[in-house]
Structure 1
Amino acid sequence: MSKTTGVLQAESGRLPHVGGLHTCALVYSGLLSPPVVGLLALAVIGGVSRWPSPSGLAWATVLATGCGAPPAAYAFLAGSRDRSLTRPRPTLQRLEQRERITTALVALTALALGIMLVVGCHGPRPLAMFLVFSAGGIAVAAALTRKRKISVHTGTLGSVLGLLGAEHGSWAIPGITLAAVMGWARVRVGAHTPTEAAYGLLFGLAWVSLFVCLPDWRG
C-alpha cells in the first residue's frame, strides 16, 4: 500500500489517527471493554443483592471468574495474533467477524454453566437474571454480526449501563453519554466506522429496552 493511499484511508476513518486522542481512545476502549463492563456489573449487582451466605459479592466473584475469564482469555489470545489496527478494513473485518463468533460461543457456554450453577444452588436471582440478560444480548449480537458488523464495545456499555439505569434511574443519562464516547473511541482507533458504532449503541439500547419489559426482570 502506498503512502498516499495510507493517508487517504486515515482521513476517511478507515485507519486510526496517531496522537494523544488516539491514545485516549485506546485506553478508554480497554478500561471499559465488554469483559470489564460485565465484571463491574456483576460486582454492583452482587454487592447490593444482600444475599445471606455466601454473600452476593462472593457469588459475583465466582461468576466473574467462571463466566468472564474464558471468553476474555480467548478474545485476548485471538487478538494477539494480529494487534494491528492499521490494516485495510476489508482484511480487518474478515478476521474480526470470525473471531467474534467464536468468542460469542465461548461466552454463551460459560454463561449457560453460570446460570445452571446459580439456579441449581439457589443463588441470588438478580445475578441469574443478569447472566440471562448477557447471554441473550451476546446471542443476538452474534447473529447480527454475521450480517452487519456492529460495535460490541458500544453496545455492551450502552445495554449494561441502561440496565443499571432502569434499576437506578440516575444512571440513565451518564450511561448513554459513556456509551456514545465509546462509539467515538472505537471509530478513533479504526476498529469501526461511525455507522457501525451507531448500530452498536442502538442495538444496546434496544436490547435493554426489550429486556426490562419482561415480567419480574428485577429478580
Structure 2
Amino acid sequence: MSNIAGKAYAMNVLTPMSPWRTWIQNALFTVARVFPHQLSGLLGLKLIHFARWVIIRRNQWPDPAGRGPQAIDNDYMLFLSNFNGTWDQYIDAFADGIPQGLDLFWYASTKYPHSIPISTFKSYITANQIQTNYYYNATPGAAQRDIKAALRVREELLDLARQHGTSDQAAFAAAYKSALARLANSLASPGYAPIASLATQNADVARKEFIRALVAKREAKHA
C-alpha cells in the first residue's frame, strides 16, 4: 500500500466547502490559534508525527498546462497527517482525543457528519481520502516514540563522552549507572511495524485456514 512506509501511514483528505462558508472556517482556525487548549488532546497523542489543515480557494489551484482558471464551484480543505499505527487506531484516537476540535476544523466542510458517532465520521473520511502515490519516510523502521528514545540515548552518550576525559573511574561509573537508569525505558528494541489493515490480516488468516483444510481433505481422500 502506497500510504504506508514502514511504521508510518500518510493520510490526505480533501473536503469541499461552499465559498460563502470559507470565511467561517478561517475564523474557526483563528479561534483555535488564540485558544490552543482546543488542541490539547491532539498534542497528547504520541502516535501522530504531525497534522495540518489547509484551505485552498477556487482560484488557488495550480495551472501547469497553462489553460487558465478552472471552473470550480467549491473551495476545499486539505488535511495532511503522518502517524504510526493503523488507520482505525488513528481515527479512533482522533475522535476520542479532540472530538470538539474535529468538529471545529471540519465545521464548514460539505456534509460533515460530526466526529460522533465514529462510524459516520470514518465513512466521511474514507469517502474523501486521497491515496498517496509516493510516500517517502526517512525513518521507516522507527515510530515517533522510537526516534525520541534514540535522541535521549544520544544525548546521554554525548554527556558521558564529555565526562569520560575529566572524571575518575568511580565518578564515571556512578555517572554511567545514573544514565543507564534514566534510559531504562529507551533501550528496548523498536519492534516490528503494526499491521496496517486488520482486514488484510483476517484475509491472510482465512486463506491459511482454507489451504490447510483443502490439504487435509486431499490427504484424507488419498489415504
Same-fold call, TM cutoff 0.5:
no
**More helix, by proportion:** 1
Q: Larger Rg: 1 or 2? A: 2
TM-score, normalization by structure 2 = 0.28
TM-score (normalizing by structure 1): 0.29
